[in-house]
Amino acid sequence: MRRLRAVKDKTVRYFMLGIAIFTILLLIVIGLSLFFKALPIMKEKNLWVLLTSADWKPFKGDFGFLPFILSTFYVSFIAIIIALPFSILTSIYLNSYASKNVRRFFEPVVDLLSGIPPVIYGVWGTLTIVPLIADKIAPGFVEFSTGYTVLAGGVVLAVMIIPLLISIMLEVFRSIPKEMTDASLAMGATKWQTVKKVILRRSVSGIIAATVLALSRAFGETMAVLMVCGNIAQIPHSIFDACYPLPALIANNYGEMLSMPSYESALMFSAFLLFIIVVLFNGLSRFTLNQIERRYQF
Amino acid sequence: MKHLEEKIFKVIMICAAIIIFGVLVYIITTVFYRGLPALSLDMITKLPGGGFYLGKEGGVLNAIVGSLYIIIGSLAISIFISVPLVMYINFYLPAKSIFSSLIRFSLDILFGIPSIVYGAFGFALMIFLGVRASLLGGILTVAMLIMPIMMRSFDEITRLLSHDLPDALLSLGATKYEMIKVILRQLMPGLVTAILLAVGRGIGDAATVLFTAGYTDNIPASLNQPAATLPLSIFFQLGSPVEEVQNRAYASAIILTVIILILSFSARYFGSKFSKHKI
């Protein structure tokens, strides 16, 4: 009887250890298999050419990823520029000013915003943002725009990353010891001065980490962006041009790629590219955030 | 002067918060406003008639059932892996071991990997194994997507658990495995919250199932048949030139939104229940 219990305990322990190792390995396996799938195209073409050429003619064998890489960056940066002020202001408000009731009311708002599926954001974008840009905003700047633009992608993405930014920034603000803000308030500083001189100054690295994390989320977002940004393989010259980010490229072409090995490899190359960027960005910002969390723990 | 600045910034901050809330309301009302006229009982009880892309009849039952199958399958897989892992990090490994921080770190990174990359990986894996776009492929890929979500939120809740009960159990002579069986009962509301969060993410994601589950007019009868899903039913039917089909997409959007609302609020309910237990 005693032995049986011990054996059971041991079996379970090894089973768990196996799962733990599997979880760490999964990351490596994903990276490696995407790499090997992308290898044929990297062998066939110069890596530098792949990244900097703007020619995208898969059926002629030209695979230049520059339009897609630039599109991804443009859309994501617009999203960050829009989302950052809203997120910082709202999280400061929730952290330092709002009453308990307001905070309790806002938690599900943030939850819901992060829970709404990308495809719903896409539907919302096509129904509201796209016509708004085509009819109201773009005519003021350019002659004609369909509305399916870099700007539309940026706006939709901005709304999608706001909940992530807010929840991480709130955590960062919370890690600042209350004694510090209390000391500032006791010296006669107003709340806003305390926010400016204590909270924000203490949180610079955290805010940067949150931004990088949100940026990497924006890079990989597929469906919502795909539905509103036009999907034309060109280098966008203004925010009223259509664009074609990397994830949209993968999503749109999966069906036809099977017929051409180099095309399939090219698409896997873009998945690999996304993987590398996201892992790098995520790793850096998670590391920073973990450090911040530990900073005031004694 | 400094009080004026205080007031100005307070107003700006309140405006920012109100705008964010306003956008949420705007999204939900847009979806309902456009979709409600198209919503009918047929939508949730009938398969699309005459093909999902051009047929004017019927509903999206294929997508509802397909999504349900995929989420149940992937949930089973990820619970089976997540629960032991979280227990292992929290109760088997020492509190500040390098191994546990390494696991948590890779979970953080897995959590950040875009769903399209999971989709591409799942697709590569399926080619390697010789599986076509099918229910099985969808289940495996969605399981990969929701596993890190479930693990992370369950881990966060488990970390809050006070160590009194585990210590008491161990001092009574229970093995760790026996201890965990007791503790899991106490952590049940936390596990439910984690599951609901994972389901919400998994059921709404289109990019993972796009390559791996395929799309079909019918309800899959076995694991190697393709399966339709709700997010893809929105995406594909929206691209149709036929108005009735587009309306079906908007109706699916309402169905998906309602599912997400229910999941989100019940996760909150179970979460709050858990914080009561803690005291």
Q: pLDDT tens digits for A20-76?
A: 999 899 999 999 999 998 998 888 888 888 888 888 887 787 888 999 999 999 999
Interface probe for A, chosen from B1, B2, B13 (most Cβ of A below 10 Å), is B13
Position B276 scores a pLDDT of 52
Contacts of A192 in chain B (CB under 8 A): 2, 5-6, 9-10
Evaluate whether B198 touches B260 at the Cβ level (below 8 Å): no
Query: Is B117 within 8 Å of A30 when comparing Cβ atoms?
Result: yes
- Which residues, given as ranges, of chain B have pLDDT below 50? 278-279
Quote the number of domains for chain A. 1
Q: Which residues pair with B249 in a beta bridge?
A: none
Q: Are residues B75 and B108 in the same domain?
A: yes
Q: Does some domain include residue A36?
A: no
For chain A, the DSSP string reads -HHHHHHHHHHHHHHHHHHHHHHHHHHHHHHHHHHHHHHHHHHHS-HHHHHH---EEGGGTEE--HHHHHHHHHHHHHHHHHHHHHHHHHHHIIIII--HHHHHHHHHHHHHHHHS-HHHHHHHIIIIIHHHIIIIIGGGTSS---S-SHHHHHHHHHHHHHHHHHHHHHHHHHTS-HHHHHHHHHTT--HHHHIIIIIIHHHHHHHHHHHHHHHHHHHH--HHHHHHSB---S---STTS-B--HHHHHHHHTTGGGG-HHHHHHHHHHHHHHHHHHHHHHHHHHHHHHHHHHHT--
Nearest to B24 by CA among A118, A35, A159: A159
Decide if A129 touches B, using CB distance below 8 A: no
Check residue A298 and give its pLDDT. Answer: 47
Instruction: State how far residue A121 is from chain B, nearest Cα, in angstroms.
Output: 7
Domain that holds residue A194: 51-295
B178 inside 8 A of chain A by CB? yes
Interchain CB contact of B275 with A (< 8 Å): no
pLDDT band for position A256 (cuts 50, 70, 90): low
One domain for residues B45 and B29: no
Does A253 reach chain B within 8 Å, measured CB to CB? Answer: no
B123 & B238 share domain: yes
Indicate the residue of B20, B119, B249 with minimum beta-carbon distance to A86. B20
Tell which residue, A50, A150, A167, A30, has the closest CA to residue B208: A30
The pLDDT assigned to B15 comes to 95
Shortest Cα distance from B159 to chain A (angstroms)? 15
With a cut of 90, say whether residue A157 has pLDDT above it. Answer: yes
Contact A244, A258 (CB under 8 A): no
B132 to chain A, minimum CA–CA distance in Å? Answer: 12
Preferred mutation among B4, B53, B102, B116 to probe A, highest tally of A CBs within 10 A: B116
**pTM score, whole prediction:** 0.91
Tell me whether residue A24 is in a domain. Answer: no
A296: pLDDT strictly greater than 70 = no
Q: In terms of pLDDT, which residue wins out, A260 or A282? A: A282
Compute the radius of gyration of chain A from its Cα atoms: 23
Owning domain of residue B18: 2-36
Residues B14 and B117 placed together within one structural domain of the fold? no
Question: For position B164, which CATH number holds?
Answer: 1.10.3720.10
Given an 8 Å threshold on Cβ–Cβ distance, is B109 in contact with A19?
no
Residues B47 and B115 in one domain: yes
Total Cβ atoms within 10 A of residue B56: 14
Instruction: For residues B52 and B22, state if they share a domain.
Output: no
Q: A92 and A198 in contact (C-beta within 8 Å)?
A: no
Mention every residue, 6+ apart, whose C-beta is less than 8 A from residue A145: A133, A134, A138, A139, A240, A241
A42 part of a folded domain: no
> Of A234, A230, A237, A217, which Cα lies nearest the Cα of A130?
A230
Average per-residue pLDDT for chain B: 88
Rounded to two decimals, the ipTM of the complex is: 0.91
Selected residues 99-128 of chain A with any CB under 8 Å from a CB in chain B: 106-109, 111-113, 115-124, 126-128
- Statement to judge: residues B137 and B17 lie in one domain: no
Together in a domain, B51 and B17: no
Does any CB of chain B come closer than 8 Å to the CB of residue A21? Answer: no
Is A31 within a domain? no
| Å between A98 CA and nearest CA of chain B | 9
> Within the 47-76 window of chain A, which residues sit less than 8 Å (CB to CB) from chain B?
none
pLDDT, residue B72, reads 95
How distant is the Cα of A102 from the closest Cα of chain B, in angstroms? 10
> How many domains is chain B partitioned into structurally?
2
**pLDDT, tens only, A189-224:** 888 889 888 899 989 999 999 999 999 999 999 999
| Same domain (yes/no): B69, B160 | yes
B203 touches chain A (CB under 8 A): yes
Distance from CA of A86 to the nearest CA of B (A): 5
Q: Could you say which residues from 138 to 167 on chain A have a Cβ atom under 8 Å away from some Cβ of chain B?
A: 159, 162, 166
Same domain, B22 and B70: no
CA angle B14, A193, A168 (to 5 degrees): 55
User: What CATH number has the domain bearing residue A135?
Assistant: 1.10.3720.10
- The answer to whether B175 contacts A5, with C-beta atoms less than 8 Å apart, is yes
Cα separations in angstroms, A169 against A204, A207, B9: 10, 6, 18
Q: Tell me whether B272 touches chain A (CB under 8 Å).
A: no
For residue A273, give the amino acid letter.
L
